[in-house]
Amino acid sequence: MTIEDETGWANAVIFPNLFDKQRKEILQSTLIMLQGHLQIEGEVIHVIVHRCYDISKWLRELTPSQNEVPQTATFAFPDKSPEPIKNNQQKEHKIFPGSRNFK
């Protein structure tokens, strides 16, 4: 499993016996916490996982409830949609390239 935080990427090494024990936490969690041994080899970082925790419920605390109005409105501007191509601007695109004549 590859994990990421604000400092970069790391490889989470989960051995088959641990995967079998904690299959639900590993496969179903939206937010996971791993406990293990840190191993650094040059620029490559590995976490040899000993235990996994499903902490997905913490994500609910970050999102306001539907009845609650946020105090600060932070709306992202949507990307500008491309303008439609007019009929006289459409170009013919070949799906397959033309064949070559070797004579």
Mean pLDDT lowest for which of 2-11, 15-24, 77-86?
77-86
Burial class (CB in 10 A: 0-12, 13-18, 19+), 91: exposed
- Give tens-digit pLDDT for 43-74: 899 999 999 999 988 887 877 666 655 555 45
pTM of the predicted model over 0.85:
no
Kindly state the greatest CA–CA separation across the chain: 75
- Which residue is listed with tokens 């904690």? 22
**Angle CA(80)–CA(85)–CA(88) in degrees, nearest 5?**
155
**Number of alpha carbons in the 13 Å side-chain half-sphere of residue 52:** 26
Is residue 37 very low, low, confident or very high in pLDDT (cuts 50, 70, 90)? Answer: very high
